[in-house]
Structure 1
Amino acid sequence: MVTANETTLQHLLEGSKQYRVPLYQRTYSWEKKQLSQLWDDIVGLAEDRVAQESATHFIGSVVLAPSPGNGPTGVPQFLVVDGQQRLTTLTLLLCAIRDHRATHEDPIHRGRMNDLYLTNPYKPEAQRLKVLPTQTDREAYQACVDSTPHAGGRDSVGAAYRFFATKLVELDDPDDPFDIERLEDAVISGLALVSITTHPGDNAHRIFESLNNTGAALTQADLLRNYLFMRLPTRGEQVYRSLWLSLQNQLETPKNLELLFWLDLVQRDARIKQTDTYAGQQARLDRLDGEEAIEAEVARLCTLGALLHTILHPETESDAGVRTRLQRLKEWGTTTVYPLLLHLLDRRKHGTASSDEIASAMLYVESFFVRRQVTGRATAGINRILLQLVAEMDRAQTVDQAVHTYLSTGRKHYADDNEIRALIRTAPYYLNGRANQRTSILRWLETEHGSKEPVDLTSLTIEHVLPQTSTDEWEQSVSPDLEPGENYEQVHNALVHTLGNLTLTGYNSELSNSAFDAKRTRLAKSGLVMNQHIAEQAEWSRPQILARADALAERIIAAWPGPLAGTAPGANVQWNLMNTALAALPAGSWTTAGDLAVIIGTTTPAVIARLGTVQTPNAHRVLQAGGLPDGVSFDALRAEGLEFDEHGHASPDQRISFEELAEASGLDPAWADEPAQRFSEQLHDKHGNDVASAVLDVLEFWDEIGGDFGYGSGRSETSCFLFARDKDEQGGNIWPFAIYPSGRVEVVFQHMLGRPPFDQVVLREELRHRLNAAPGVDLPAAKIEKRPSFPVKALLDPKTRAIVRETLQWFYEQARSTVFVGAAR
């Protein structure tokens, strides 16, 4: 039940009372746009009241809840459930008016306005301020109320005070002694608000949720923080200072706070999704009674937060073995391993596991990842496996034994040594998993060589020794090793993406399709042991690639332990992959046994034998390399839409490409799962290192200020979009540029027409003028509703890059300010 009354700022502030902004509220966040709008409204109202003294201007509502700490004596206190931004801003304006009038008119105004509107004189310090912001803003706000030398600092509160102080100087007409007085009167008596007050016993947090459930106003972390402090009406301040502030600072971002709350839940129930974090935690916490129990929960979360900080920042871990494993698992890049890591660190903290045991447990997880990757099972089912680990591991065993046992049993595809030796020769390593994971394993393999002069591996990329795009010279080099009935295309496809053919270099673009002699010269100068081994070879063909694969298999087996002996191996997935690919093969298309062999990591004869003995989907669409049917009726294939030439060869245009087949098989080809890498490579290929570096420098700046990226799906050209807002945020997604590797930066005025605030022509014009100040950029005024562009090579000029960066900063701030206008009450 609530009571709503129309009121004025004067009635709201006069008398002894205090409005406390709860700890769960966001910090003060009004910026120049909101302040300017309020100022213009007040100035207009002051002018209107000259002619009509009763004129008012409605500026919204404040929702108040009586403080649970109210008693029969003392200052009545209210929690500001909604409207804190507005109330804080108006009292900062009163501070600025007070200081201006005390300085330019009469010092009496200082005491008058303090006693009437800003403070409760002669009350205890805790009750002195009429408006008490959140703890983060309190010091800056109190400086403004008390007119200390720190008033008007660099923070948001100080910026608002300075804004109004400046505007008052501009407004004050020396020939009009009453203009500032009229403005004060308009603020105090002319601004109309609706004061909505809940009754004691009402659930203020439920009201708060209902007021903030429309879009991106609050994150799940915000809501959970709000809920916790709503449950701490008398202990909130102390808990905030002693526990929460440390947790918040340690985890740095709301995203990491939300991650912590999810990890806490998922250890109990692997089915909990991150999107259900708030609901899951609230349901759990609803069962707790009293502030003491809630405080204990905050303390427990703080302990877990310190452990999560170690996971996110492995360099802070003191034990060298644990630190190495944490660094590698972070590098792997999957948060689904975090519940286990949090559990392991928590076990160590409580003395039920040692550093050696948890490092050993992490090594088994790392080994599980590596062995699945090199045998072609990088991602399938892995999230489910990892999320269930904590709940299903055997608590009777040591933690490392329990992890090893769990990963070794059931259908988890933890490859044993024999599978490593067999599949590393044929599995298309480069097409499986994520690019960073493929690179990480090669880095770790180089580390296993134990070089006395370690090389910085972080900037190196994967190089195909036998190149992806072949040349006549490479065909001549490989062809002598062909078996009867083989052709070069089959052998090339079977070898090119296997681990035995891959290494790391910092000269990927320079090496490219060069002949082996040229590559060998460059690799011999490398500081990497693996490259020196390749350079020792006189030639590079199938025998050398397979021999290197065998050597790498033994190194993998030695470095990363396999599953427990005697556990049943997982089902052979090769044929399942082939069945999946063939089932997706459309009528009127064809492929070859050689392509299938590469995809599933086996040999062409094995695929042919399988097709001849086991019923397989669409097996009739698997033709010989030249497109010749093998025991299949031409009429049946023609009926499906396949076309043949006069020699009986199927049309090459209807052959499903190797990449399309990989995608249909559930593999993650490099061109499909790493659009950012594809975009970068295309930039380098088309424009060289200098232009590419200039573009990437701008993208890095966009990332630093908080922007996001989207990429086009085209393979021949992958475009990049600079997102300032997500599609789910208020105002919808918006981006200033689309960058095309072919050579242009497109300014998307047309897209902005329906996206605030750039639906305003004045802002689009300002964007155009800002960009046109950069050398090499000339966007015509006639294209303010189109998609004009400028060349990417213009970014080579440092002055152009500087102007573009400044413009992106401005664009981002404008776009983001729209998001918070509606939520920043």
Structure 2
Amino acid sequence: MVTANETTLQHLLEGSKQYRVPLYQRTYSWETKQLSQLWNDVVGLAEDRVTQDSTTHFIGSVVLAPSPGNGPTGVPQYLVVDGQQRLTTLTLLLCAIRDHRATHEDPIHRGRMNDLYLTNPYKPEAQRLKVMPTQTDREAYQACVDSTPHAGGRDPIGAAYRFFAAKLVELDDPDDPLDVERLENAVISGLALVSITTHPGDNAHRIFESLNNTGAALTQADLLRNYLFMRLPTRGEQVYRSLWLPLQDQLEKPKNLELLFWLDLVQRDARIKQTDTYAEQQARLDRLDGEEAIEAEVARLCGLGTLLHTILHPETEADRAVRTRLQRLKDWGTTTVYPLLLHLLDRRRQGGSTSEEIASAMLYVESFFVRRQLIGRATANINRILLSVVTEMDRAQPVDQAVHAYLSTGRKHYADDDEIRALVRTVPYYLNGRANQRTSILRWLEAEHGSKEPVDLSSLTIEHVLPQTSTDEWEQAVSEALEPGETYEQVHSSLVHTLGNLTLTGYNSELSNSPFDVKRAKLAKSGLVMNQHIAEQSGWGRPQILARADALAERVIAAWPGPLAGTTPVTSAAWNLMNTVLAALPAGSWTTCGDIASIIGRDSPAVVTRLATTTTPHAHRVLPAGGLVPPDARDLLRSEGVEIDEHGQASAEQRIWFEELAELIGLDVEPAAEPSTEALPDRFLLQLNEKHGDEVTMALTELIEVWDELGGDIGFGAGRETSCFLFARQKDDEGGNIWPLAIYPSGRVEVVFKHLMIRPPFDQAALREELRQRLNEAPGVDIAADRIELRPSFPVEVLLDPAARAVVRETLKWFYEQARSTVSVGGGR
């Protein structure tokens, strides 16, 4: 016998009780995908509760079993049979909210939230935590609950805490003092769970199995179809043949039917989530009487289905301007614009708007996307904004004017012309938004040139003119324009990813890191006007990149209209992004002002000034490039786990570089590695031999040859230090490119866990952990478990030991087999 009750997190956690995760349960394993979903649900719920404070959101169940050790006294204890990942994550979110509010609002929040939701005050230590994870996770979890310097480490528990801490910094609007409080209330009292509690003698595992059976569940579209035809006892067959079947065939896929039903709902209420489609449609349909009303409803949905088919297939639209805008918005790749598109097409169908007006409205949306992308605010609150356009815009105005006015008001980050001119020069465009969105804007900019001989842009990719990986030739050329006190590295990192340095080519790999003279000759033959403009330059450095950025900014301003006059530009985007980056920086690590500057599109002196004059998360973890720690920060950094030598120098192994910072907050960074061409292999071996001698060179050559015999590819970086990459797959293979190790002649073999986290099948934590354990069997290799989200390394000299080489050789074979398992027969190489 079991007892099942709908409950809230508040009810579960308040009062003296403890939820213990049994030792046989798996360790904490939620990653960014699951954390993002929970965060988006909570943020959406908090927004919904502004207008209807009773709104809840169901997030699943927890199955609890009374602990066999419970007695008449003491804290009641429950074993968490199912739902431990969810329960642990929610309490980590509460820890992050507590710390954020205690820091930014009032220290009283720390004691309040601890006593109410996180601990059993005044109880023995073994009973103090309300949630007690498995032993493996316990230390990291306790650090978060107790706010010790080790909170937010590199383990999965710490990563979850840091994820929420960074998101809270991003969410917290200084103009809205209640936004974080609303979020806390949504978590505590708005998230609905089903608490299933077994009774003594019940088989908790049998109950768990019945709750998690693997049968194929009905989709919401299936449920709604069944409900509709249950309401048509005499007309069902006729309605099915004449209306439902054509609708189903037209939309092709069940998921498109479900999308249609949701789009229909959000025309009336933007707060409705796709997961609630069936329940909300059923509630609406319950109010209809008789078969005639139900048949009319199916007919109405069929009409909307035809419009959705046009949105999904823009080539079927007759009007050229509307077709162009629909295609571009489809290429942008966000379905949250679909409710507005459906509304626009429906208004035209009913005669309320013209094709010209709805094409103009779509242009404003496109402009909104483009301008936000260019200032580095591509995703901020975008879903909420788009879903609210239909219900909140002024219906009395022509529809294009109404859309323009809605997007122009409030904190929507619709950049004006002055912002575009200023930020196009500095924002790292290549790291913002999705890859297809970055490429789309460049394609659209080329289309604005109106060439009489248009080029097929669909196969072109983004090329960095000043390459991501530097060479001696490029350093010499760019250094000619350095200002006093500047270094080449500073200028390179501040310019390389900006719009002024980017173009489109169909021969990216051929251009690679070639000197500008070589690139210029190739670009001069291009059919793209933008490439011909670059080829007209005698050199390529800061003056040319900034001049091109200015020219592109003017083209953007001419092509995409800005917000209505009088709206306030968002000038704090870069500093908000810096706060988000620093909030995500793990305990026991450090970074530099230069790395931060490269991420946010500002120069290093501006970052230094900001850190010195403004309260910023983890500012003490930002050090000079050499890692010298100020005396007043040494004790604090040591308490967090940073190793500092007798000279006050922080360990270089604990530095978080630019690329890793970008990855911490989800920016799209791909480590640069080039195919094996010309002299690069020889240069790699020469540099390796110069630093480490013949024996190390021979040992590494042996491993590289093993990799080649397996069928892997060898890639080389083209910087001053020629790195070596062991590719198991290339970009065009199923699953994308992947490599286990990067070898640097300076003396380290880097294990690229951070890269592997988003590459199947090594996006599974268990496989990455197995890779770590296999490598640790080699004498001299000792990779700590808390480095599994980063890029730890071991010295190349380790491979002088034949036993170590044997272990690494077998590990490489294992890795290759795992990586190639995702490539279908006949695919890949």
> Shorter chain as normaliser: what TM range?
0.5 to 0.7
Output aligned runs, 1:172-571, within 5 Å: 215-570=215-570
What's the Cα RMSD here? 3.6
* CA distance 1:443–1:694, change in 2 (3 Å): closer
Task: Tell me whether 469-478 or 255-264 shows the greater mean CA deviation.
Answer: 469-478
The Cα of 1:648 is off from its aligned counterpart by 4.5
Amino acid at match of 1:507: Y
The TM-score normalised by the length of structure 1 is 0.57
User: Aligned equivalents of 1:368 and 1:713: distance in 2?
Assistant: 36
The Cα of 1:339 is off from its aligned counterpart by 0.1
Residue ranges of structure 1 left out of the alignment (5+ in a row)? 1-212, 673-681, 700-711, 728-785, 806-825
The Cα of 1:698 is off from its aligned counterpart by 12
* CA distance 1:635–1:532, change in 2 (3 Å): same
Amino acid at match of 1:611: L
* CA distance 1:684–1:249, change in 2 (3 Å): farther
Output aligned runs, 1:58-207, within 5 Å: none
Deviation track 1:757-779 (CA, whole Å, cap 9, x = no partner) reads: xxxxxxxxxxxxxxxxxxxxxxx
SS in 1 for 2:226: helix
Deviation track 1:434-460 (CA, whole Å, cap 9, x = no partner) reads: 000011001001101111111111111
The Cα of 1:721 is off from its aligned counterpart by 5.1
SS in 2 for 1:462: strand
Task: Tell me whether 643-652 or 470-479 shows the greater mean CA deviation.
Answer: 643-652
* CA distance 1:466–1:698, change in 2 (3 Å): closer
The Cα of 1:691 is off from its aligned counterpart by 8.5
The Cα of 1:500 is off from its aligned counterpart by 0.8
SS in 2 for 1:340: helix
Identity of aligned residues (%): 74
* CA distance 1:433–1:570, change in 2 (3 Å): same
Amino acid at match of 1:268: R
The Cα of 1:360 is off from its aligned counterpart by 0.4
Amino acid at match of 1:525: K
Assess if the C-alpha contact under 8 Å between 1:408 and 1:567 holds in 2.
yes
Q: Does 1:715 align with 2:714?
A: no
* CA distance 1:507–1:793, change in 2 (3 Å): farther
The Cα of 1:652 is off from its aligned counterpart by 2.1
The Cα of 1:557 is off from its aligned counterpart by 0.5
* CA distance 1:491–1:648, change in 2 (3 Å): farther
User: Aligned equivalents of 2:502 and 2:714: distance in 1?
Assistant: 20
SS in 2 for 1:557: helix
User: Aligned equivalents of 1:287 and 1:355: distance in 2?
Assistant: 35
User: Aligned equivalents of 2:649 and 2:415: distance in 1?
Assistant: 40
Amino acid at match of 1:609: T
Assess if the C-alpha contact under 8 Å between 1:695 and 1:792 holds in 2.
no
Assess if the C-alpha contact under 8 Å between 1:624 and 1:630 holds in 2.
no
Amino acid at match of 1:668: L
* CA distance 1:574–1:722, change in 2 (3 Å): closer
Assess if the C-alpha contact under 8 Å between 2:500 and 2:548 holds in 1.
yes
Task: Tell me whether 631-640 or 270-279 shows the greater mean CA deviation.
Answer: 631-640
Number of equivalenced pairs:
511
Deviation track 1:578-634 (CA, whole Å, cap 9, x = no partner) reads: 122223333432222222222222222221221222222222322222223468554
- Name 1:579's counterpart in structure 2: 579
User: Aligned equivalents of 2:299 and 2:484: distance in 1?
Assistant: 72
The Cα of 1:227 is off from its aligned counterpart by 1.1
Task: Tell me whether 536-545 or 571-580 shows the greater mean CA deviation.
Answer: 571-580
User: Aligned equivalents of 1:659 and 1:263: distance in 2?
Assistant: 38
* CA distance 1:267–1:480, change in 2 (3 Å): same
Indicate the structure (1 or 2) with the bigger Cα radius of gyration: 1
- Name 1:24's counterpart in structure 2: none
Deviation track 1:531-588 (CA, whole Å, cap 9, x = no partner) reads: 1111111111111111111111111000000000012234622222212222333343
* CA distance 1:484–1:647, change in 2 (3 Å): farther
User: Aligned equivalents of 2:277 and 2:237: distance in 1?
Assistant: 25
* CA distance 1:227–1:671, change in 2 (3 Å): farther
Assess if the C-alpha contact under 8 Å between 2:587 and 2:641 holds in 1.
yes
SS in 2 for 1:481: coil
User: Aligned equivalents of 1:788 and 1:328: distance in 2?
Assistant: 39
- Name 1:153's counterpart in structure 2: none
SS in 2 for 1:504: strand
- Name 2:128's counterpart in structure 1: none
- Name 1:819's counterpart in structure 2: none
Deviation track 1:59-111 (CA, whole Å, cap 9, x = no partner) reads: xxxxxxxxxxxxxxxxxxxxxxxxxxxxxxxxxxxxxxxxxxxxxxxxxxxxx
User: Aligned equivalents of 1:536 and 1:260: distance in 2?
Assistant: 50
SS in 1 for 2:480: helix
* CA distance 1:329–1:614, change in 2 (3 Å): same
Deviation track 1:110-135 (CA, whole Å, cap 9, x = no partner) reads: xxxxxxxxxxxxxxxxxxxxxxxxxx
The TM-score normalised by the length of structure 2 is 0.57
Deviation track 1:767-809 (CA, whole Å, cap 9, x = no partner) reads: xxxxxxxxxxxxxxxxxxx99949969999xxx729x99xxxx
* CA distance 1:630–1:553, change in 2 (3 Å): farther
* CA distance 1:421–1:688, change in 2 (3 Å): same
SS in 2 for 1:670: coil
- Name 2:669's counterpart in structure 1: 670
Residue ranges of structure 2 left out of the alignment (5+ in a row)? 1-212, 672-711, 717-724, 738-751, 765-813
User: Aligned equivalents of 1:386 and 1:591: distance in 2?
Assistant: 36
Assess if the C-alpha contact under 8 Å between 2:493 and 2:598 holds in 1.
yes
User: Aligned equivalents of 2:545 and 2:422: distance in 1?
Assistant: 14
User: Aligned equivalents of 1:365 and 1:791: distance in 2?
Assistant: 41
Q: Does 1:801 align with 2:800?
A: no
User: Aligned equivalents of 2:369 and 2:315: distance in 1?
Assistant: 22
Assess if the C-alpha contact under 8 Å between 2:243 and 2:302 holds in 1.
yes
User: Aligned equivalents of 1:217 and 1:589: distance in 2?
Assistant: 45
Assess if the C-alpha contact under 8 Å between 2:734 and 2:823 holds in 1.
no
Assess if the C-alpha contact under 8 Å between 1:520 and 1:534 holds in 2.
yes
Assess if the C-alpha contact under 8 Å between 1:425 and 1:500 holds in 2.
yes
Deviation track 1:682-713 (CA, whole Å, cap 9, x = no partner) reads: 979599999859845999xxxxxxxxxxxx97
User: Aligned equivalents of 1:595 and 1:610: distance in 2?
Assistant: 14
User: Aligned equivalents of 1:359 and 1:795: distance in 2?
Assistant: 42
Assess if the C-alpha contact under 8 Å between 2:730 and 2:736 holds in 1.
no
Assess if the C-alpha contact under 8 Å between 1:364 and 1:561 holds in 2.
yes
Assess if the C-alpha contact under 8 Å between 1:428 and 1:599 holds in 2.
yes
The Cα of 1:667 is off from its aligned counterpart by 5.0
User: Aligned equivalents of 1:382 and 1:562: distance in 2?
Assistant: 17
* CA distance 1:631–1:373, change in 2 (3 Å): farther
* CA distance 1:791–1:565, change in 2 (3 Å): closer
* CA distance 1:517–1:576, change in 2 (3 Å): same
